[in-house]
Amino acid sequence: MKGTSTSFIRQASHLDESDGLFVHLCVVAELTDHVFQMMKGGTEEQRREWEMPLHQSFDWLPNSEKQIEEDHFNETVEAMLHMGIKAETQRHILRILAGILHLGNVSFSSSGEEHQLCQLPEGAEESMQTAAKLLSVPAQEFQTCLRVRTLKAGKQSLLKPCSQTECRVRRDCLAKTIYAQLFEWLVSFINNSICPDKSTWSSFIGVLDVYGFECFHVNKLEQLCINYANEKLQQHFVAHYLRAQQEEYVSEGLQWSFVKFQDNQSCLDLLEGSPVGVFSLLNEESRLNRASDANMLRVRLEKELSDNPNMSWDKFSRAPHFTVAHYAGRVSYQIEGMVEKNKDPVPVELISLLQKSDNPLLCQIFADRETENPTTRGLAKVTVVSKFKNSLENLMSILLNTTPHYTRCIKPNPDCKPLTFKKEEVILQLEACGIVQTIQISAAGFPIRIPFKSFMRRYGLILKHLEKSGGSSDDLHVDSDKPPQQEVEQVLSVVLNQRSCDERCTLVHCGRTKVFLTQAMLDVLEDHRRNILSCCAFSIQCCWLRYQHRRRRARRQSVTVIQAGASRWCLLSVCRPFIPSDAVTRNS
């Protein structure tokens, strides 16, 4: 396939770190591979520069205990050097990341008055100052950008204090934007370092690390996007698997199709359907210049999508929500806050502030950043869901033109302990990654495929046993010169001699090089083989017992002969001294 690895990795980066998912990844995901955990393993001097004491807590790093990743910090630094990222650039990267962490500790309290700025609680102002320092931006202007928004009225600009919720959204949006831009820059840098000139090659090998299906106590827009991506990837996986199965059937000369299988297209239609779907309705609500109302959005969802079997509601729940039946299970999503997150506006004043940063790397990655016009209205507004959907579609177009290979990673226990296996956790993971569904699809056809030679090595004894028992006819005679397929058919005819032709077709098919079996047919073969082995074992036991009996009888006879000879010899030994005198007496 013609393409570039850069484009492939960029699509993965869009799905993994941008489009409003950063906060979720920092707060609730397992931070096993996150650079923020690694930064705790920095030197004392580095932590002093980042103002990250060992025991300091961060809202976006809830696990305060030492993580394994802290021991890999030096390895990460060394790897960055190998990729050509100089020490000074690394310093700028780590200062930006530390600034993001401190930004997460900034909280806001309502002033109670609409025209008053939100207050910074105790400790939040210090975190604000630290974040501004690490990001190398003016602290006062930084505070103003987070708490005041600029409204355009014609050629005039009006300043309006943000509500507590709006302040939190702007803070999260800023953190996400910085991290997404930094991640994009890092991916591009690595690709430029390792990729040869595009004119010299036309193929690539891409690795896509996909987050798994998610279902928490409270599920929001982040989980909806993640599970939507999993639905798309699961559909691609199933289609690829079915296509591979069908190709194997065709190559073996079998006529079979999985007509009974129902894919997850109905769930995808529910989410991405046009003109009416969850995403389209959410985008319409996000593009309206009015305050969002979760109850109103719920009413509209229920009105437009109540006919879809994958959508349901809990009538006894007070919180506005909707439930989607995914391939891995049912997930209830909280509507409150979805519209605000879907808008995900990147304020112009925040981008302008970052472009003036004294951190050269931060200034560089935002130098060409285009800011959205806050006066943009209607369908011209780009939402988080629309950006995410477009990125996913671009990724899917790449996957459809490549040859995929899937690796499913299953964690045996949540504590990462050796020799510990928790069945319930593993089953949940198997269901979430679609393995259970794949097994069900496989079971609908002929899941067991055995080459002819392997089949005869295991089940050829059925013919041999029939021939030795005297029950075989001439056409069932075992002949090493016969084609393997004919021998396999002979074995199957012996095992299925009581079955009808239609029943045979549902249990087994002989291809050109393999025999295709259902689990039921395999059980029949194994039972037949087990019975023959049992008969053979019984015959061996009988022969052995008969041999042992004959041997014991022969030993008893030998012992009797020996005892008789020994007794005669003992008697002769006792009587021998008297034999000569008897002879003299007889002569006289």
Position 77 in a domain: yes
Q: At what angle do helices 87-104 and 124-135 cross, to 10 degrees?
A: 160
Q: What is the pLDDT of residue 280?
A: 93
Indicate the Cα dihedral angle 6, 39, 345, 313, nearest 10°. Answer: 100
- What SS3 class is residue 61? strand
CATH number of the domain at 363, please.
Answer: 1.20.58.530
Query: Which of 358, 382, 400 is where one domain is finished?
Result: 400
- Residues 134 and 100: their CA atoms lie apart, in Å, by 9
Residue 471, Cβ density class (10 Å: 0-12 exposed, 13-18 middle, ≥19 buried): exposed
Residue type, 266: S
Which residue matches tokens 């006289």?
A: 588
DSSP 578: G
HSE toward the beta carbon, residue 322, CA cutoff 13 A:
30
Is the distance from CB of 467 to CB of 476 less than 8 angstroms? yes
Q: What is the pLDDT of residue 378?
A: 47
DSSP string, 544-572: HHHHHHHHHHHHHHHHHHHHHHHHHHHHH
Chain Cα centroid distance, residue 415:
18
Is the distance from CB of 288 to CB of 343 less than 8 angstroms? no
Position 188 in a domain: yes
Position 506 in a domain: no
Position 311 in a domain: yes
Is the distance from CB of 517 to CB of 488 less than 8 angstroms? no
Q: What is the pLDDT of residue 63?
A: 62
Helix (H) or strand (E) holding 334: strand 329-334
SS3 content of the chain, % helix, strand, coil (to 5): 60, 5, 35
Position 142 in a domain: yes
pTM of the model: 0.69
Position 536 in a domain: no
Position 286 in a domain: yes
DSSP string, 193-228: HH---GGG----------------SSB-HHHHHHHH
Report long-range pairs for 259-262 (Cβ below 8 Å, ≥24 apart): 260/444, 261/441, 261/444
Q: What is the pLDDT of residue 442?
A: 78
Segments of the chain scoring below 50 in pLDDT = 1-33, 372, 374-375, 378-379, 473-476
Q: At what angle do helices 278-286 and 294-305 cross, to 10 degrees?
A: 150
- Residues 500 and 145: their CA atoms lie apart, in Å, by 80
Domain coverage including residue 92: 5-400
Position 533 in a domain: no
Is the distance from CB of 282 to CB of 338 less than 8 angstroms? yes
Number of domains in the chain: 2
Q: What is the pLDDT of residue 585?
A: 56
Query: Which of 400, 421, 451 is where one domain is finished?
Result: 400
Q: Across-strand partners of 83?
A: none
